[in-house]
Amino acid sequence: MSAPPATISHANMTLASDADVSREAPSRGRVGMYCLISAESAIFTIFVVAYLFYIGKSLTGPMPKDVLHVPIFFTVCLLSSSLTIHFAVKSLKSAKIGPFALWWFLTLTLGAIFLAGTAREWRHLIYDEGLTIQTNLFGTTYYSLVGLHAFHVTVGLLAITTVLLFTLLGYVKHEHAERVDVLALYWHFVDAVWVVVFTVVYVIGR
């Protein structure tokens, strides 16, 4: 409810400077990102509901309790990347480009480690356990839900890599802190979704 005080003394329309507009309004980028996150949350909700609904309904094996191992190390990596991206944005906001680049690179590394972990887990499931997306309902829902999340991690990593390249080329400045912050918001969302996916797949579903 951004109600600017009535600064004019008559009812006619008068010139308003850009400063007036930007002072009152919330940031477009943040609002847009929050909306995108809401839409993505709705998509994930449907996949999570499907996963929960189909737990224990597979007609053939392998079953989750036989083949799934809790990926604690990779989860820690992904969740810590939320912390590193937070420090990165904080550095950029106080115009410290060097620490920003370092924290940002760390975020990229942690995210990439997580993605490699998913790849390794899938390789194990497919080649050692014989579980594919066609095998049973567990396979269908597992690869869809975890794959949807991995897809979002990939998109996030591509965006983070782009920003890192721009940083190394010297284009990222203090004034981009707001935009980088919006990207960080997305990354936090990806991490938060993993908490849900982790709980559903590795705790409830096992």
Q: Return residues touching other proteins (CB under 8 A).
A: 1-4, 6-8, 10-16, 20-21, 24-28, 31-32, 35-36, 38-47, 50, 53-54, 57-59, 133-134, 136-137, 140-141, 144, 148
CA angle 155, 157, 161 (to 5 degrees): 120
Shorter beta-carbon distance to other proteins: residue 80 or 140:
140
62 preceded by a cis bond (ω within 30 of 0): yes
Shorter beta-carbon distance to other proteins: residue 45 or 109:
45
| Minimum CB distance to other proteins, residue 46 (Å) | 4
| Minimum CB distance to other proteins, residue 115 (Å) | 20
Shorter beta-carbon distance to other proteins: residue 79 or 148:
148
CA dist 91 to 50, 87, 108, 156, 178, Å? Answer: 41, 6, 16, 20, 12
Residue recorded with tokens 């705790």: 203
Closest C-alpha among 193, 67, 49 to residue 121: 67
Shorter beta-carbon distance to other proteins: residue 82 or 136:
136
| Residue type at 9 in one-letter notation | S
Question: Rounded to whole angstroms, how far apart are CA atoms 100 and 109?
Answer: 14
- DSSP-assigned letter for residue 13: -
| Minimum CB distance to other proteins, residue 62 (Å) | 14
Shorter beta-carbon distance to other proteins: residue 36 or 164:
36
| Minimum CB distance to other proteins, residue 122 (Å) | 14
Shorter beta-carbon distance to other proteins: residue 47 or 100:
47
| Minimum CB distance to other proteins, residue 137 (Å) | 5
Question: Rounded to whole angstroms, how far apart are CA atoms 8 and 170?
Answer: 44
Question: Rounded to whole angstroms, how far apart are CA atoms 114 and 194?
Answer: 11
| Minimum CB distance to other proteins, residue 192 (Å) | 17
Question: Rounded to whole angstroms, how far apart are CA atoms 125 and 170?
Answer: 43
Q: How many CA atoms lie within 13 A of 106 on its CB side?
A: 18
